[in-house]
Amino acid sequence: MSAARISRLAVIGAGLIGSSIARAAREKGLADTVVVSDADPGVRARVRLLGFADVVAETAAEAARDADLVIACVPVCASGAVAAEVGPELKPGAILSDVGSVKGAVLEAMAPFVPPHAHLIPAHPVAGTEFSGPEAGFAALFENRWCILTPPEGADPEAVERLAALWRGMGANVEAMTARHHDLVLAITSHVPHLIAYNIVGTAAHLEETLTSEVIKFSAGGFRDFTRIAASDPTMWRDVFLTNREAVLEMLGRFTEDLSALQRAIRYGDGEALFAHFTRTRAIRRSIIEMGQETAAPDFGRRPAPGAAE
């Protein structure tokens, strides 16, 4: 058996990330048996119809029974409840992980329910789309994307490597860091941009009816991309901001200071300051493309919406 392959993989939550993990594990032969569970019976029925799980379990506890690896693919605020349910079912050597965008809160919520004979290794695949539900998943979602592991102090290196190998098997680049460092980095790379997008789109929604309709009709690329981000799952993002508030507020403070500097430059006609700022930010975009984390293709090479023509 290869390092990445496991006997029984349990995926708790069949949304975009959970269904993509299940699809990738099956298509790439990374697990002998892929078990999927979801709290919503309607979602479980759709998983059966879509056929990307070997077994559809009625409960998280049932899915976790005899599993080598259990991945909680649920909103951050639900991670503790999942750990409480699956904890008693974790066999010796089993790994419990997650996919949440916040890691400090996940460690705090899940750790009390993990028995000493099992391993808690939180993870965050930095990948996704604005779509949700079991139909939205696809096996290639993690290809050339980062998955950040945040093992707690004293974590078993062999267990960490086994989880890392699974993510590498799904095409991800893997890096480990502390939960605190992860939450600071993601606050500026993901959380604050989402908050800004929600705010800008919300501002458009609060404009007069005629102006709002024209904003929609004449949406240019900038506003259109903000609406894509702002269409992300509201439950997930509510939980992100409630559980990573300190890091988000710190980065929002820095953002506000920089925004004030731009306001001053515009107010006083300081074209030199504006040009210098835009030149620096343009270089960031080029660096992201050079690192393979984005493409310069039209629509950024994004996957079409489910059911859309290719």
* Beta pairing partners, 33: 8
pLDDT value, residue 297: 57
DSSP states of 44-109: HHHHHHHT--SEEESSHHHHHTT-SEEEE-S-GGGHHHHHHHHGGGPPTT-EEEE--S--HHHHHH
- Alpha carbon distance 92, 149 (integer Å): 21
Assign domain 6-177 to its CATH architecture: 3-Layer(aba) Sandwich (3.40)
pLDDT band, residue 309 (cuts 50/70/90): very low
- Alpha carbon distance 243, 249 (integer Å): 11
Count the neighbouring beta carbons within 10 Å of the beta carbon of residue 229. Answer: 18
- Report the top-level CATH class of 181-268: mainly alpha
List the one residue out of 169, 170, 137 whose CA is nearest residue 47. Answer: 137
pLDDT value, residue 213: 80
Q: Where are the domains of the chain?
A: 6-177, 181-268
pLDDT value, residue 296: 61
Average pLDDT, the chain: 89
* Residue, of 128 and 288, whose pLDDT is higher: 128
User: For tokens 């001053």, what's the residue?
Assistant: 264
pLDDT value, residue 147: 97
* Residue, of 210 and 18, whose pLDDT is higher: 18
Residue 189 has pLDDT above 90, yes or no: no
Angle, helices 179-186 vs 245-267, to 10°: value is 30
- Find the mean pLDDT for residues 10-26: 97
pLDDT value, residue 310: 32
* Beta pairing partners, 36: 11, 56
Q: Which of 33-42, 54-63, 210-219, 254-263 has the lowest mean pLDDT?
A: 210-219
Q: Strand 6-12 and strand 95-98: pairing?
A: unpaired
Which residue type does 95 have? I
- Alpha carbon distance 24, 40 (integer Å): 22
pLDDT band, residue 305 (cuts 50/70/90): very low
